[in-house]
Amino acid sequence: HAFNVHAFRAAQRAAPLSDFARELNAGLSQPQRSISPKFFYDAAGSQLFDRICELPEYYPTRTEVRILTECAPEIAAQIGRDAEIVEFGAGSLTKVRLLLDALESPRRYVPIDISGEHLEAAAERLRTDYPRLAVQPMVADYTMPLVLPSREKGAGQRVGFFPGSTLGNFSPEEALAFLQLACRLLRGGGLLMGVDLVKDPALLHAAYNDAQGVTAAFNLNLLRRANRELATDFEPDGFTHAAFYNAPLQRIEMHLVSRRAQAVTLDGQRFAFDEGETIHTENSYKFTVDSLRALAVEAGFRPAAVWTDPDRLFSVHWLQA
Ligand code: AVJ
C-alpha cells in the first residue's frame, strides 16, 4: 500500500506550489481562460454541492438515488455475491450504501479519491456500519493507470461504481480514455455507472441556474478559494455566474463572467480581463442511453442492463468488462 492517506497528506504539505496554483496559472494564460471543475470541491465548495443536491431544480442526485433504491434488487442480481466494489471518486460514501445494502455478502470496498481529507473518516464510519466488509480507501487519481489490491481468493466479481454523472465532466476523449482504463481494471466483472440524460433544455437550464443562487455561489467559490489559498485578489462582485446548454455539444457549460475590465494578480503575475470575458469552469455532458452504450462498446465493455426513471431524466448502466 504505497499510496495511503497519511503519506499523501505529508506529501501535500511538502509540495512547493499546489496543483491549484499551477493549473489556475495555466488556465488563466489561455485565450479561452479555464479551470478544471475538480477545484470546486474544497470544504466550502463541497458544502455548496451538498446544498445543490437538495435543490428542487437539481434533479440528478435524487433521481439517481431513486433509481438505485428501486432497482437495487435487479442490480444486485447482475452483480452477484461476494463482490469487490471499487468506487471512482468517492466523496462522502453515501450512494454506495444503497448498493451495499442490496448485495449479498459484499467482500471488499475500495473507494478511490484524489483527496484523502475526508476519505479515512468516511471509511471508518462505513466499517462501523458494515463490520464484515473490508474497506480499503486509496488516495489516487483514477484518470491515471493504477494498481488495485489483488483479488481475494473466492471473491466474486470486481465491480466499478461511478455514480453522479461524473463522467459528464470529461471531454469525449477523456471519457473514452477513462472507460478504457476502467474496462482493463475490471476485466471479468463490470462497471455500474450513473449518467445524466439529454432532455428539454429548459429543465437543464433550471438545474444549473437555481432560483436560490446556490449554483452561482458554488461557481463563484472557485474565486474565493483562490483568494483564500493562493492570495489572489479576485473581487467578490467582479464576476457573475453563467450556465447554459450548448445543444450541438450536448453539454451544460458553466462560466464566470467578468463584469468589467479588471486585472487579477496570481503569484506576482497580472491577468487582465475585458468586460464580458469569461473563465470556463465546467462542462457537464449529457448522454442518450444509446450514445452512452456506444461509447462503452468503443471502450471495450459489453453493455448489459440499463435502468432509468419514468421521466427518463437519468440513467444507471451495467456494463460488463
Ligand atoms: C458532479 C459533475 C455531476 O455536472 O451536474 C452541479 C456538478 N455543477 N451543478 C453536474 C455540478 C453544477 C455535477 N457533477
Q: What is the pLDDT of residues 31-69, one digit of tens each?
A: 999 999 999 988 899 899 999 999 999 999 999 999 999
Q: Is 210 in the pocket of ligand 1 (CB under 6 A)?
A: no
Mean pLDDT of 237-262: 98
**230 pLDDT exceeds 70?**
yes
Q: Which of 111, 175, 165 is nearest to 143 (CA)?
A: 175
Q: Is the CB of 215 under 6 A from ligand 1?
A: yes
Pick the atom of ligand 1 nearest to 165's CA: 3
Is residue 5 in contact with ligand 1, taking CB distance under 6 Å? no
Closest CA to 266 of 232, 312, 300: 232
Contacts of 281 (CB under 8 A, 6+ apart): 34, 35, 37, 40, 219, 222, 254, 255, 256
> How many whole angstroms separate alpha carbon 205 and alpha carbon 209?
6
The Cα 50–Cα 29 span in angstroms is 31
Please spell the DSSP secondary structure of 53-87, one letter per residue: HHSSS-HHHHHHHHHHHHTHHHHHHHH-SS-EEEE
The three-class DSSP label of residue 310 is coil
Residue 3 pLDDT more than 80? no
In short, whether 219's Cβ falls inside 6 Å of ligand 1 is: no
- 137-175 pLDDT, tens digit each: 999 989 888 999 898 899 999 999 999 999 999 999 999
Whole-angstrom CA distances from 7 to 2, 14, 18 are 8, 11, 16
Write out pLDDT tens, residues 185-204: 999 999 999 999 999 999 99
The verdict on the CB of residue 165 being under 6 Å from ligand 1 is yes
The answer to whether the CB of 282 is under 6 A from ligand 1 is: yes
What atom in ligand 1 is closest to the CA of residue 219? 12
Cβ–ligand 1 distance for 166 under 6 Å, the answer: yes
Residues 289, 290, 295, 297, CA torsion sign: positive
Question: How many angstroms is it from 174 CA to the middle of ligand 1?
Answer: 17
Which helix H or strand E contains 234, and what residues bound it? none
Please report the DSSP string for 181-200 in residue order: HHHHHTTTSEEEEEEEB---
Average pLDDT, the chain: 93
Dihedral pair phi/psi, residue 300, rounded to 5°: 110, 0
Say how many Å lie between the CA of residue 150 and the centre of ligand 1.
33
The answer to ipTM > 0.90 is yes
How is residue 150 annotated by DSSP? P
